[in-house]
Amino acid sequence: MAKATSFGAVVALIRAAEDLLIKKAGQTSPLDRVSTLRGVYYGTLWSLDYKVESVRSTGGANIRNLGFLTYTGGTIPADPRPAFAGTSIMADLQASQSIRDRGRGIDIGHMLIGLETRSSQVLRTQNFTGQGGTGLEIVTWLGDLGGGAANLAKRRILRPTSVEVIFHNRTSDYGVMDNLEGDAAGYLVACGTTPGGAPQYPPGKGIADALASYLPLGSKAEWAQRAGRFAGALGATVSSAGIVNKAALIDKLADKLYEFAVWYAATRWVTSGELLGPAADKACQHMKGTAREVATVFVTTLSSAIARPPTPIDATGPYPGQSATGPCASSMLKAASTDVGAVRKQLDQWVKELGHLF
């Protein structure tokens, strides 16, 4: 095999990986295979995410792994490397996370982690206190865009910065098109008639089959409807012209994004030493505003994609202006601004309590 550079090629790569997991690891259930393949990208010591994040901060990378473990149901994925031995499949999968194909795109890691998390009713429906949403939301759009809102707030400590950078950046982070398309796929691949519902695999079919049906490789029906179905799962009222209840949906999503932004900033940047002392309070003062700006762009982007299928789920201007700051309402970031050690001790304790899992 090789790095995938098209939708058809990534389906073939996933099919080859599934075949090896069936033959060499006995993973006859697609539920097992999706967990194993998700671990190629997120939440394990061999994942692509861990390789990247551990360079920044080993503690932060371990906390991210604990988060992925929690949000996806508490089971560490099986290590696929023995099944893939003697092949380039592992490297090819990790090199093929973000796929661009003739102006369209998708993030395969986002698709897989959403697909896996949907197998649990609890993780589809129950909110994580203080983090803004359900496991499914956090591993898809909420994690991407809440992290983006936090990043934008952190940038604004130093200089005015447009929200556009969260949706168009050279590092392919946060709300870029392939991430949002991967988030939509995480809700919709193998969903049957219920976006965000439990995965449905016909007998003898697997992840590659479901992905092939979703992508515009043969029938384009699922692809053409994806923005509207995804938006509906988030609470949108949808018409052929776009989202009808934009203002109410922006209010709803902005609150969720703010909660996750605070969590993201504390667990990612306090632990790494990137957000210390007064900077933590200053970033916090921006977060209500950045969360609303990000929510506004997200809802507007979905609405535009609905109105013009099969337009990519890709943000375009005009973008909202920079919001005014307000008082920091987060006790966690207030603590980080005055007693960084206390926050680090709490995060270190979580790692210690669950450290046996790693």
> Residue-wise pLDDT tens for the chain (358 aa)?
799 999 999 999 999 999 999 999 999 999 999 999 999 999 999 999 999 999 988 888 888 899 999 999 988 999 999 999 999 999 999 999 999 999 999 999 999 999 999 999 999 999 998 899 999 999 999 999 999 999 999 999 999 999 999 999 999 999 999 999 999 999 999 999 999 999 999 999 999 999 999 999 988 999 999 999 999 999 999 999 999 999 999 999 999 999 999 999 988 887 677 888 889 999 999 999 999 999 999 999 999 999 999 999 999 999 999 999 999 999 888 877 776 666 666 666 655 655 544 3
Please give the Cα distance from 63 to 232 (Å, whole number): 32
Domain range enclosing 90: 7-357
**pTM of model > 0.85:** yes
Say how many Å lie between the first and final Cα of the chain, rounded.
Answer: 31
Residue 96 belongs to a domain: yes
Q: How buried is 258 (Cβ within 10 angstroms: 0-12 exposed, 13-18 middle, 19+ buried)? A: buried
Does residue 226 form part of some domain? yes
Residue 59 lies in a domain: yes
Q: Residues 263-293: pLDDT tens digits?
A: 999 888 876 778 888 899 999 999 999 999 9
Place of tokens 């089971």: 75
Do 111 and 228 contact (CB within 8 A), yes or no? Answer: no
Q: How many domains is the chain partitioned into structurally?
A: 1
CA distance 259 to 287: 9
E strands of the chain, at which residues?
Answer: 98-101, 104-107, 238-239, 242-243
Q: Is 31 inside any structural domain?
A: yes
Residue 105 lies in a domain: yes
Q: Report the chain's mean pLDDT, rounded to a whole number.
A: 94
- Establish if 280 belongs to a structural domain: yes
Domain presence at residue 1: no
SS3 310: coil
Would you say residue 285 lies in a domain?
yes
pLDDT (tens digit, 9 = 90+) per residue, 173-232? Answer: 999 999 999 999 999 999 999 999 999 999 999 999 999 999 999 889 999 999 999 999
